[in-house]
Amino acid sequence: MKNKTFERIKKMVKPYRKTVIFVTILAIIIDILALIKPYIVKILIDDFLKDGVYKNEFWNVSFIGYLYIAIVLLENFLDYFNSTRTNRIGESVVFDLRNKMYEYVEKANIRFHDKIPSGTLFVRIISDIEDVYALFSDVITTFIKDIFIIVGLLCVMIYISYKLSLVSLIIIPLIIIASLILTKLLNKTYSAVKNVRTKMNIFFSESIYGIKLIKIFNRQKEKQDECESITREFRDTIKPIGLYQGLLPAVMTLIENLGIAIVICAVVNKWIGETLDVGVIYMFITYLKNIFDPINRIIDNVEVVEEAVTSIDKVYDIFDKEEYVEDFESGKRIDKITGKIEFKNVWFAYEEDNWILKNVSFTIEPGQSIALVGKTGSGKTTITNLINKFYTAQKGEILIDGININDINLGDLRRNIGTILQDPFIYAKSIKDNVKMFNNIDDDKIEEAIRLASANEFVENQENGIDEVARERGNSFSAGEKQLLAFARIFALNPSVFILDEATANIDTTTEQLIQESVDKLSAEKTSIFIAHRLATIVNVDKIIVLNNGEIVEQGNHEELVKTGGYYSKLYNSYYNSLV
Amino acid sequence: MKEILKELLKKHSILIVIEMILISINVYLLTVPSKFLGQIVDLLYNIDLNKQIILKTVVYLISTCVLLLISRVTWKMIDAKISRNMVKKFRDTIFEKLLKIDVATLEKIKNGDIMSYFVKDIAEIRKFISNVITLTIRFVLNFVIVSMAMTQSTNTQMTLIAICPIVISIILIFMMIKKIEKNYNESRMKFTNLSGFVQESTDSIRTTKAYVGEQKQCEEFIQKNTSLKDTNFEVIKNETMLSIYMNLGIGIGLGLSVLFGSQMVLNNVITIGDFVAFNGYMLILQEPIRWIPWMVKHFKRYQVAYKRLDDFLKMKEEKIEIYDYKSKALNGDIQIKNLSYRYPDGKEDVLKNINVNIKQGKSLGIIGVIGSGKTTLMNLLLKLYKVPKNTIYIGGEDINNIETDTIRHNICYITQDNFLFSSSLKENINLFRDIYDEEDIINSTKSSMIYDEIINMSDGINTIIGEKGIDLSGGQKQRVVISRAFLNKSNIVIFDDTFSALDNKTEEALLNNIRNLTENKTCIIISNRISDIKHCDEIIVLDHGRIVERGIHRDLLAQKDKYYEFYKNQAEKSKVEILN
């Protein structure tokens, strides 16, 4: 285990230090009790049964029986606390870690999210962390106990007779070798099975997906044949697993009895040069039998530990970096901005030196509407991403209300900017919560916002109206309806700046009209920035900024730009001509 | 379902009988080492006298273990053979059902559900057959054989006393399982809920940030996570109790046998060896008890899986002969008369009074927005849904009177989703039917304008694509799919929105090739692009299931109605493409 990982584990467990000490002590006591039990039977055999006496000066036979039962009860009583507490440590560690990871993901900046796909984050928070749980609950619970019991057993056995121990303990390497060989064989088959299983699952899922195609082209027979050949391959690959699984316990029983045979032969042939009482021999054999389970468990757990260590590293490698965490604390607090936006010689690159914006300068006065026009990749969206500070420009200055954007409190800045994306995200929450968007807004205002966004008709048509819970990703709503809800959000939020990435497709004409109404209402009173896809929008704005390869090639209003006869006028004319 | 199981049991009846015998032998052999050990203990009191017998018994002990190993491995191998054959049979049967099932029925089942028939449900059935059943048999046999051995070494009364706590613990375990199951389901539900929330959070991060909802999201997460933790604590508590019950049953049983067994030794009813053997038998009972929770859990899952598969296997099938595709050729005249169609559970007609007449050698263009009924019309033509009588005629015959496979054999329907199998390009074009010359396939790729790209791929026409091969672009996929039309020799060819990802130049050339191909065939082109259908002999405009306009391109434009709207819209959109 790497040192770094060990430090990380230590950090995770730190809040539960006391519990760890507690369960360790319990584990030692339980182990000692487990060691005492065969000793009691030994006393019973050697001191009483052998000679046929009911009692001696210390004990009587029944007392020993009751003592045995008492030990069993105590052992289980302690085990209850040991197991529940250890498992709770695992559960709590996972709980803490998940909370920490989630918070990190939420508060990390967009650069972080660009770098790490959401699927990866999901796997880290949800699945990888389960391995960590396994490490704490399964491994550590049994691991502490197992280590102590092995050491205890060895000590006791050596104490009884070190010579007998030396002879009989040659089975320990046998256990380890047999276990390792079989595990290796099993794993080899498992990985072969995994490949065929993947192939088979791909086949099934594609056949399900393409079933109509298969039917349309009458390819049922071909597919049935393919199915049979794949299921046959799978059957033949997986078969040996039964053999190995059958082999392992049987081999262990064999080794166990080999050990017993060695002990008995050693005693009978007087290899050890001393005579032992029958009870002692019986006790020794019992201890020998008891050593199997903990050894096998430890071997099994090696893999769990390896997986957990990899997972811990994977998890921490993502979440250990402070540089991505956004700062919501510092910066000037502004309740309401007026909406003046200035870009002064702004340069920006997502990756080093690959400039997406080159020396961009422009000013938007409060209440003005502007359109960003240009080909895909010309930097339109990047400009809006800089305005709500999803990214920070490398060179130049961005001023909001005359204040450098980096000096404004991040939360305040974003609360004052309302953005509508082409495909707005709808949470699997009620319509109300989707409009509220984490803010405390009362129902009247929400309904008002929904009305202003012309979404009232669609909302009223829902079974539960405003309380209708959207399906995941808003799948129960159409693209147009999602857009309307996004507009309702803006009306409810009432920001000073309004950014719209115009949707181009998948919206029917009626909804499109409703959306246009909302756009007109919003742009009339707020600083509005459009990423324009439609000429209709462009014609009406106060200023058009034409971008090409990250540079502003032209700016001005529609008439001015058409008059100058540049890039924009060519575009406009070709459109105009096609209509005539 | 029942029939399959019966058939499988019948087919493997001899193997099953052998397996049962082997299991019985195995369970019996498990008790033998304890018996030998007991005998040895008795003999150890006089080592010198009994040396030979002891060594002989040791040899017996080891031989027993070898026999145990052999019987166990053979039994496991037979078990693997039976259960794997069963799984194969189930997979094949369910796949065959999938191929036969009626499309309208199929559309009501989620793809994920069908996939889980193959992946999850069949696995449950296997677990039940190969593990739950054999474990139950072993459980019962174990109890019977072990208690017989116990009675033999002591007496009935002693056996009953020792077994009593075990029986009580079994009852307690059964009572506990229900509680745990409930707990566990609750925990699963909360976990799913939490994963859903994480998934949504990572996907929605930009929106959340834009509305400064990070803190609120974190709070909600912690709340969900805490609730999960609490439930898991409950699970831990109950699971620990469960294992304590198991340990107590055996532990107290052992204690009682120490208590009463020692009395019996002292009263000279049994020997010390019998006493030792008795304790050994008790330990054999330990393992089967641990299986109980597992058996109950999987028995329940088996019932669910059985029902799901049984329901699936009872679903309605198409009347189709899947093993014979030598169908006769039909004349390509298509006539649709007063066709109205409503889905079996639909509220209104999706097609209303459709009348179309296309002679072989002519072409029909269909245009209309999403949901206008275009694809439903095609699905009816292919008899994927049940067709109303006397509405659709092919070659002058009502298609209800033509065999389904004959119809599909005579229509080449190229669908809009360009789905390809993870297989070679060749197999994706001939769709796994090996009756076409390589040259024909190559020619078809030339006609579909994909040939130049294919020859540049590593293995040409045999290149593997998809999950385990190379990734094709949307446009490439579309052209591979279209190749099928050029390879197929049917008299009717349908293109359902198959040109959307192609650039103008390719599209034009391709349409030209299609015109050559279908010169003497019936051709239907469904598209929202005017350019795809403007050369058709007849064009129909579908709107809400009704034909609202029909005629040739020039006339429809002149009407300045719906068709003209499409045309105008496209003119605008094509300019928008310049902007983007």
Tell if the CB–CB gap between B55 and A578 is shorter than 8 Å.
Answer: no
Question: Using a CB-CB distance cutoff of 8 angstroms, which residues of chain A are in contact with residue B111?
Answer: 205, 208-209
The amino acid that residue B85 corresponds to is: N
For residue A576, the model assigns a pLDDT of 59
For residue A557, the model assigns a pLDDT of 87
For residue A509, the model assigns a pLDDT of 62
Pick from A511, A423, A577, A561: nearest CA to B574: A577
Question: Using a CB-CB distance cutoff of 8 angstroms, which residues of chain A are in contact with residue B431?
Answer: 213-214, 217, 219, 222
DSSP state at residue A127: I
**DSSP-derived pairing of the beta strands B411-414 and B492-496:** parallel
Q: Is residue A348 part of a domain?
A: no
Tally C-beta pairs within 8 A across A and B. 383
**Collapsing DSSP states into helix, strand and coil, what is residue B338?**
strand
| Nearest Cβ partner for A99 among B225, B268, B572 | B225
- CA-angle at B300, arms to B298 and B302, nearest 5°: 65
Pick from B411, B358, B424: nearest CA to B380: B411
User: Residue B572, Cβ neighbours under 10 Å: how many?
Assistant: 14
Joined together, the tokens standing for residue A350 give: 């997502």
Residue A580 clears pLDDT 50, i.e. is over it: no
Which residue pairs, CB below 8 angstroms and at least 24 apart, start in A262-267? A262/A167, A262/A168, A262/A170, A262/A171, A263/A164, A263/A167, A263/A168, A263/A288, A264/B40, A264/B44, A264/B54, A264/B58, A265/B55, A265/B58, A266/A163, A266/A164, A266/A167, A266/A168, A267/A164, A267/B44, A267/B47
Q: How far apart are CA B74 and CA B23, in angstroms?
A: 10
Q: Which residues contact A331 (CB under 8 A, 6 or more apart)?
A: A406, A407, A408, A409, A410, A412, A413
Q: Are B119 and A234 in contact (CB under 8 A)?
A: no
pLDDT tens-digit map of B80-108 = 899 999 999 999 999 999 998 888 888 88
Q: Is residue A469 part of a domain?
A: yes
Q: Is residue A443 part of a domain?
A: yes
**For residue B497, how far is the Cα from the chain centroid?**
30
The amino acid that residue A514 corresponds to is: L
Q: Could you read off the pLDDT tens digit of each residue along chain B, which spans 580 residues? A: 888 889 988 999 999 999 999 999 999 999 999 999 999 989 988 888 888 999 999 999 999 999 999 999 999 999 989 999 999 999 999 999 999 888 888 888 888 889 999 988 999 998 888 888 888 898 999 999 999 999 988 889 899 999 999 999 999 999 998 898 899 899 999 999 999 899 889 888 888 888 888 999 999 999 999 999 999 999 999 999 999 999 999 999 999 999 999 999 999 889 999 998 999 999 888 888 888 888 888 898 899 999 999 999 999 888 776 655 566 788 889 999 999 999 887 778 889 999 999 999 999 999 987 678 888 899 999 998 889 999 999 998 999 998 888 888 899 999 877 788 888 999 999 988 888 889 999 999 999 999 998 988 888 899 988 766 778 888 888 899 999 999 988 899 999 888 877 777 788 889 999 999 998 999 999 988 888 898 899 999 998 889 999 999 999 988 888 888 888 777 665 544 444 4
Question: Using a CB-CB distance cutoff of 8 angstroms, which residues of chain B are in contact with residue A75?
Answer: 247, 251
Tell if the CB–CB gap between A49 and B272 is shorter than 8 Å.
Answer: yes
Based on its alpha-carbon atoms, the radius of gyration of chain A, rounded to whole angstroms, reads 37
Q: How far apart are CA A115 and CA A105, in angstroms?
A: 12
Q: Report the CATH number at residue A437.
A: 3.40.50.300
- Sheet of A551-556, strands arranged across: A417-420, A497-501, A527-531, A369-373, A543-548, A551-556
| Nearest Cβ partner for A220 among B272, B322, B575 | B322
ipTM: 0.85
Q: Are B501 and B475 in contact (CB under 8 A)?
A: yes
Tell if the CB–CB gap between A257 and B119 is shorter than 8 Å.
Answer: no
Locate the chain A residue with the closest alpha carbon to B408. A216
**For residue A513, how far is the Cα from the chain centroid?**
42
Pick from A361, A312, A409, A302: nearest CA to A547: A361
Torsion, CA B315, CA B316, CA B317, CA B319, rounded to 10: 160
Residues making up chain B, counted from first to last:
580
Q: Is residue A85 part of a domain?
A: no
pLDDT tens-digit map of A354-373 = 899 999 999 999 989 999 98
Main-chain phi, psi angles of B48, to 5 degrees:
-60, -40
Locate the chain B residue with the closest alpha carbon to A54. B266
Tell if the CB–CB gap between A535 and B572 is shorter than 8 Å.
Answer: yes
Locate the chain B residue with the closest alpha carbon to A277. B45
Kindly tell me the burial class for residue B482, based on how many C-beta atoms sit within 10 Å of its own C-beta (0-12, 13-18, 19 or more).
Answer: buried
Q: Is residue A401 part of a domain?
A: no
Enumerate the β-bridge partners of residue A419. Answer: A499
| Nearest Cβ partner for B221 among A75, A88, A99 | A99
**For residue A59, how far is the Cα from the chain centroid?**
60
Q: How many domains does chain A have?
A: 1
Place of tokens 């409810």: A492
Q: Is residue A62 part of a domain?
A: no
- For the entire predicted model, the pTM comes to 0.79
Q: What's the average model confidence in pLDDT over A516-531?
A: 85
Q: Is residue A38 part of a domain?
A: no
Joined together, the tokens standing for residue B555 give: 């006339």
Q: Which residues contact A41 (CB under 8 A, 6 or more apart)?
A: A68, A279, A282, A283, A286, B258, B279
Q: How far apart are CA B551 and CA B365, in angstroms?
A: 10
C-alpha distances (whole Å) from A275 to each of A52, A169, A363, A489 are: 21, 19, 102, 89
For residue A277, the model assigns a pLDDT of 85
- Provide the domain limits for residue A427: 423-494
**Collapsing DSSP states into helix, strand and coil, what is residue B101?**
strand
Tell if the CB–CB gap between A217 and B111 is shorter than 8 Å.
Answer: no
CA A554 to chain B, closest CA, distance in angstroms equals 14
| Nearest Cβ partner for A106 among B80, B217, B409 | B217
Pick from A73, A29, A468, A307: nearest CA to B253: A73
Q: Which residues contact B173 (CB under 8 A, 6 or more apart)?
A: B242, B245, B246, B289, B292, B293
CA A352 to chain B, closest CA, distance in angstroms equals 22
Place of tokens 């019992």: A286
- Residue A579's pLDDT band (cuts 50, 70, 90): very low
Is A227's Cβ below 8 Å from some Cβ in B? yes
**Collapsing DSSP states into helix, strand and coil, what is residue B395?**
coil
Q: How far apart are CA B239 and CA B299, in angstroms?
A: 19
Q: Are A162 and A272 in contact (CB under 8 A)?
A: no
Tell if the CB–CB gap between A264 and B58 is shorter than 8 Å.
Answer: yes
For residue B134, the model assigns a pLDDT of 86
Q: Is residue A27 part of a domain?
A: no
SS3 content of chain B, % helix, strand, coil (to 5): 70, 10, 20
Question: Using a CB-CB distance cutoff of 8 angstroms, which residues of chain B are in contact with residue A164?
Answer: none
pLDDT tens-digit map of A71-95 = 999 999 999 999 999 889 989 999 9
Locate the chain A residue with the closest alpha carbon to B195. A126
CA B571 to chain A, closest CA, distance in angstroms equals 7
Q: Which residue has the higher pLDDT, A471 or A464?
A: A464
Tell if the CB–CB gap between B229 and A95 is shorter than 8 Å.
Answer: yes
Tell if the CB–CB gap between B432 and A242 is shorter than 8 Å.
Answer: no
Tell if the CB–CB gap between A91 and B40 is shorter than 8 Å.
Answer: no
Is A111's Cβ below 8 Å from some Cβ in B? no
For residue B321, the model assigns a pLDDT of 66
Q: Are B430 and B511 in contact (CB under 8 A)?
A: no
Is A52's Cβ below 8 Å from some Cβ in B? yes
| Nearest Cβ partner for A243 among B58, B76, B384 | B76
The amino acid that residue A135 corresponds to is: L
**Collapsing DSSP states into helix, strand and coil, what is residue B270?**
coil
Question: Using a CB-CB distance cutoff of 8 angstroms, which residues of chain A are in contact with residue B369?
Answer: 508
